[in-house]
Every structure is written in structure tokens, then in C-alpha cells.
Structure 1
């Protein structure tokens, strides 16, 4: 991927937030805006667009980040087949504390495991 393609790909968080900026009612849309804007931030501060970390990342964005990653891992892409739910949960667990909030990850894993009758990763 070229630098130009990478910059375009990274702009999706800010573009999504821009779309949501004028949605009403504002008290609900503001959380969606923050979630869209910050869902690519990483818990360890290595994400984008602002490079914020930990509790600086809005909770809604920390939740969306996990769900978005789960979808990305399990969905078939033109360049690869999607992974199993169990493998996706193991990867999310592996990234707890670096990419994802380590306090939110167990709740997501428990919910998905229960919903789809999947053995939780060790």
C-alpha cells in the first residue's frame, strides 16, 4: 500500500465523524461522533487519527474498536477468507492491553461466546 493509499484509508474515521457531526439529537449523536472519530485509536497510543491512549479514548470508541476488529477478522475479503469466531476472539484477547482496553475485552468475549455458543479462549 502506498503512502497515499494509507492516508486515504486512515481518513475514514474522520470522514465518518464528519457525517455524524450534524445528526440530531445531539446528546446521542455526540457519542456516535466520538465513537466514529476514535475507533481506530489503540489502547497503547499507537492508533490514529490523534494517537490518544487508554482512558483518553472515549468508551464508545473502545467498544466499537473491538467490534470493528471482530468483523474485519471474521468477514471474507477479496484477498483472504474470514477467520472463525473462535480465532477472532483469541486474537482480540491477545491484543488486550495494546490495541484494546483490557477491561472491555472480557465483556465482548463473554457476550460473543454466549451468543454463538463458542468456547471462550483460555
Structure 2
């Protein structure tokens, strides 16, 4: 069972969590002004990929959450593979749902959430 902000996503065709390290970053030496590549590996980041099928109401709700994160809001995700609720944000440009027209129109596609690193 997968819930986002307490609402259950009923038709999840695929779910895969994965961990990826952030990219190494450049930093500027304050004395010389030269750029150097950070030699330390990046921090691990947990991603959650969903293949979903949703109705119009759920699509509008998810789209509202995606747009609201531009103001700094996060979503709470809970799955069998997470330890309780985790705070996440939608990965930019990874909210890809397309409309399928048939007897009952619906939306299908992929959503990627990235866990927020809490200290």
C-alpha cells in the first residue's frame, strides 16, 4: 500500500526505490580563486519511482502537490519499503502522466519522488 499525504494510490503498476549518490561538486579556493573538483563522493539520496494509473480527481490532486512544492512544501510518503512516513519532493520534470481516452478516461505514467535529507 502506497500513501501520499495520507491518500492511498490504488493502482500502482510498478514501484521501485533506489539510492543514488549526488554528483561531485566544484568548489573555489578562496586564496587562489581556482576551481577544484570535490574528491569526496556525494551524499546518498533515496528516490522512489512509481508507475501509476489515476482518475481525473487524483491527477488534479497530484498536480496540485507538484505545483505547491515550488513554494517549498513537501509530501509525506509511506510504503512497505520505507520506515514509516518520509518527507519527499517531486523530482523536477519527472511528473509524467498522460491522458488515455477510452470508455473511462484515466491518466497513466511515471512519478519520481526524492526523499528530503533531514539533519
TM-score scaled by length of structure 1: 0.26
| Largest Rg, 1 or 2 | 2
Query: Which gives a bigger RCO, structure 1 or 2 (Cα 8 Å, sep 6+)?
Result: 2
TM-score scaled by length of structure 2: 0.26
**Which has more helix, going by share of residues?**
1
